[in-house]
Structure formats: C-alpha cells, structure tokens
Amino acid sequence: MRILMIGDIVGRPGRRAVRQFLPGLFHDYQIDLVIANGENAAGGLGLTPETAKELLDCGIDVITTGNHVWAKKEIIPCLDSGLPILRPLNFPPDAPGRGYLEVKDVTVVNLIGRVFVGQFDCPFRAMDSLLSCMSDVSRTIVVDFHAEATSEKVALGRYLDGRVSAIFGTHTHIGTIDAQILPKGTAYVTDVGMTGPINSVIGVDTQLAIQNFLTSMPHRFAISEGPAALDAVLVEADNATGKATIIRRIKQSE
C-alpha cells in the first residue's frame, strides 16, 4: 500500500500545484491512497464545499483539517454528509463531523495538538481510545497530527510507534528533514510542509507578513502569488502487518 500525504494546501496557488503535479505522482509512484491537509485551501483560511470538491476531483481520497476547520461556516454541513473530510478526533465529542474513516483498507485519523494551539482533548488518550476498539478493522493506520510544537509531535510518534503505520505532522507549513521509520515500524515526519506559494511567509504575502512583525499591528493577510510548490511524503506499508517499509519526501515546484 503506497500512501501519499500532501502538506497543508494554501489557497489558489496550492490547489493549482495539486492539479498540476498529482497526476504525475500517480504515474511515477503507483500511489494507492492520497491524503491532503486542506484546512487552508480556501483563500488561505478554511475550506469550502467548492474547494473540497476541487481537491477531491484531483484524486485526493481524504481531506484532513485542523484548527481552521470552522473558518468557513459553509463547510460545516459537509462534515456530516459522507464526504471524506475529517476534523480532529480530539475535538469535543459534540462537534460536527468525524475524526477518522476507513478508505481502501486504510484507517485515516486526524488529530490536533494542544501545545501553542488550543484547549482540546488529549491526542494521546484519544488515540488510545480509538485503537482499543479497532481490533477488527484495517491494520494500516495513518495519522495526520496537526500540531505546532515539535516536542509534542515527536512524543506522539514515539508513543504510537508500532501501533500505527505512519504519523504525518502538519500545521507549521515548514517541511522537516526527519522523515524516518521508527524502531517498531511506524513511519514518522515532524512536518510534511506546505503546498502553496514559494515566495511567501508560510503562504502569506511576504511584505504583509514582515510589516506585521515590524509594527505588531494587525494586518489583513493575503496569499502570495507567483510560482507554487507541492510538499508531500510517500509511505509504503505492509498490508499484512501494518508496518511501514519505505518513507520518502517528494517536492515538486513550478
């Protein structure tokens, strides 16, 4: 089973990069399942039904989200509609939507961190609870851990090593160099990176971002224009054991 995780898709440039590069990746790597974090796909903040459909039509099988999932209110009814869109599992239980689903014999889980992000239920205990009732489903389990602190991400990776097939960190938009297979067989990377404008500050227009730091005054952020790149991580997992056998970074640029 070859699984591709696409890093946070930012605005129109990110969606364009998906359209442009994903067909070639299917051809080159014989990908079986595509997951993408889409919580910034609509104008850089949130997800709409239209942008979700655009991404799904490109060949993405599951869209994960994070702390910006509620930014566009029109997406909320879609979360309970059967579309393959996830919100973090460790949101309060009465929140709309679901935190995991099974697609093509793979269980995809969405978690959110707490350090520097917000007051959510414990992601460690949320996974313990989920795994305790999953003995009769797929052995291949992958997690999008949408979190800020590298320590929290690394700790979850070590905590779940051997219990899930892969943990993909998202949220910071900066890809890390630590893609690895942990000792007990879990593929891990602290952050997949960003699919969006190259000449930007994590997707935002560079001058607007700099002005915000220089003045500490609020500025209306805009997504940068220009060439875009796609950041992704490919994992191959053994269907029989759920253990990862290969992990590699993929980057495509306009």
CA of residue 202 relative to chain centroid, distance: 15
What is the per-residue pLDDT for 136?
A: 60
* pTM given for the model: 0.96
What is the per-residue pLDDT for 218?
A: 80
The residue segments making up the domain with residue 98 are: 2-253
CA of residue 20 relative to chain centroid, distance: 19
Q: Which residues on neighbouring strands pair with residue 152, listed in sequence order?
A: none
Query: Domain total for the chain?
Result: 1
Residues labelled catalytic:
68
CA 113 vs CA 6, 169, 218: distances in Å: 19, 10, 26
Helix, strand, coil share of the chain (percent; to 5): 25, 30, 45
CA 76 vs CA 81, 176, 194, 218: distances in Å: 9, 31, 24, 28
In the numeric block, which tokens belong to residue 109? 């889980």
CATH number of the domain encompassing residue 19 = 3.60.21.10
Output DSSP code: residue 87: -
Backbone angles phi, psi at 232, to 5 degrees: -150, 165
Residues of the chain with pLDDT under 70: 135-137
Q: For 125-169, what is each residue's pLDDT tens digit? A: 999 999 998 866 678 999 999 999 999 999 999 999 999 999 999
CB 166 within 8 A of CB 187: yes
Q: Is 157 left (phi over 0), alpha (psi -120 to 50) or beta?
A: alpha
- Residue carrying the six token digits 């104008």: 43
